[in-house]
Amino acid sequence: MIVSHHRESVRYNPENCWNQAKAHIHRKIPHHSFLVWIEPLMWVGPREDKTVLGCPSSFFKNWVTRHYLGLIRAEMEEICQRPWRIVLEVSDQDDGEGRYGAEEEAQLLLPHIPRRPEARFLLQKDFTFDQFVVGGCNSFAHSAALSLASGEDVCHNALFLLSKTGLGKSHLSQAIGNHILHQNSAIRICYMTAEDFTNAMVYALRHDSIEQFKEKYRRQCDVLLLEDVQFLSGKEKTQHELGYTLDALLAAEKKLIFTSSLLPDDIPKMDGKLTSRMSSGVISSIESPDYETRVRIINKKASLKSLEIPQDVVHYLASELTKNVRQLESGLIGVVAKASLLKVHADVKLAESVVRNIARRSQKITIESIQKLVCKYCNVSMEELLSRSRKRSIVQPRQIAMYLARRHTGQSFQAIGQSFNRYHATTLHAVGTVERLIREQGPVQKQVEFLSRRLESGNL
């Protein structure tokens, strides 16, 4: 009865529904994407048979419509248990904090270039040096990052952090930003992915605001934190613009931090001059953690999350889960969650069942194997699946494949999007669409269940 009453109260309070939907969306998309695209949306109210949300510009409206409206609608329908028609309108009202102004003024704000006071909110608060577990696998990277952040005995202004996914390069990168802001909140930090930089430049070119773009990054930036630079591969115009930007920042002795899964020289279709600029500072790799470091990582994460777990279980997880930090965290959360659901104490036997599931997924289920499986059973070719086709017979299998990739590989939305030649926002929309279709308990639910069983059984 409590649940029923709660749903009923939400159903007739659309604004409350919207606030809850925002919270749910925040957990599903990257933090910086939420701040840039969802947080600025303002509740306007019901109008006739639709719900109206206000946004600051026409570009903003078009972008959110294309990339996030499906997710917003799905979350609203899930919370309120009824269909929703949502309309975005450009607002000319100010919220008291200068967030919205006239349309002409709003158009001058580049959505992928947050205003400086918001920079600190783009960094994850728990990505700090004191929460980073140091071991032989990462001690040099940690020292280089800390010295650059503190400004003590620094002989370099640029740092290139190299590692595979899930080993802590983003943690160290953002720890630098958090440390600098803690020392001096007036420092101007620009934090973004290479994809964000590309999108911001394209927007500036299309809206005749390239000079503002240059001003932002060349003369109003003290610290540039640029993640996942391997995604600049093949993007010639972006590479040229970034090269000029780095020249200006290096000449002004600003601090530059890059992260990548590939060395600059190993990134295909990368301009030689840009490669040289990225290699001008310290290059430090982060390796997979050794056994002792893995034990300390698990204990650290358990302490931060206030989770109780026996040490024999900790040592078992550390001995079996050797791939990366995310895998260790998955094992920790999996053991605690399973023990809680079964109402039993966490022990090594229970941990063994969790590890078997993780190991099976990591060994057999990849994005490529999912793509091949979907092609086989949905009667589409790999070329069609990865194409730009908007035919329903191709779009739906593509969305299902993205959903399965997110569910069974644990890869980020951005990584999955890259595997399908799409942006992470498209992947996010696809996952939300399939989740909604699954709730409808129709043909898609049966397809997903069938394909999931194939994946989990190893029958690919």
Question: Are 94 and 125 within one domain?
Answer: no
- The number of beta carbons lying within 10 Å of the beta carbon of residue 358 is 19
If you average pLDDT over residues 214-240, what whole number do you get? Answer: 88
Query: Which has the higher per-residue pLDDT, 348 or 414?
Result: 348
Confidence of residue 410 (pLDDT cuts 50, 70, 90): low
Half-sphere exposure of 361 (CA within 13 A, CB side): 20
Question: Are 78 and 152 within one domain?
Answer: no
Structure tokens at 414: 């951005």
| Neighbour-count burial of 296, counting CB atoms closer than 10 A to its CB (0-12 exposed, 13-18 middle, 19+ buried) | middle
Averaged pLDDT of the chain: 80
Question: Are 138 and 263 within one domain?
Answer: yes
Domain final residue, candidates 40, 72, 100: 100
Helix, coil or strand: residue 447: helix
CATH number of the domain that residue 343 is part of: 1.10.8.60
Question: Are 358 and 378 within one domain?
Answer: no
105-125 pLDDT tens trace: 333 334 443 343 344 446 777
Element (H, E) at 193: strand 189-193
What letter represents residue 84's amino acid? W
The pLDDT of residue 459: 59
Task: Provide, rounded to the nearest whole percent, the portion of the chain with pLDDT above 90.
Answer: 22
35-64 pLDDT tens trace: 778 888 888 877 766 788 888 777 778 778
Sign of the Cα torsion 392, 394, 397, 401 reads: negative
The pLDDT of residue 8: 39
- Determine the structural domain holding residue 320 and report its residue range: 291-364
Please list, residue by residue across 167-189, b when 16 or more beta carbons sit within 10 angstroms of its beta carbon and e when fewer do.
bbbbbbbbbbbbbbbeeeeebeb
Number of domain units in the chain: 4
Residue 380: inside a domain, yes or no?
yes
Domain final residue, candidates 241, 258, 285: 285
Structure tokens at 376: 């086989």
Q: At what angle do helices 194-206 and 236-251 cross, to 10 degrees?
A: 100
Query: Which has the higher per-residue pLDDT, 230 or 458?
Result: 230
Q: Is the pLDDT of residue 439 over 80?
A: no
- Kindly report whether the global pTM for this prediction surpasses the value 0.75: no
User: Which residues, in sequence order, are CB contacts of 169 under 8 Å at separation 6+?
Assistant: 141, 161, 162, 163, 259, 260, 286
Question: Are 160 and 53 within one domain?
Answer: no
If you average pLDDT over residues 88-110, what whole number do you get? Answer: 44
CATH number of the domain that residue 40 is part of: 3.30.300.180
DSSP states of 138-173 as a string?
THHHHHHHHHHHHTSS---SEEEEE--TTSSHHHHH
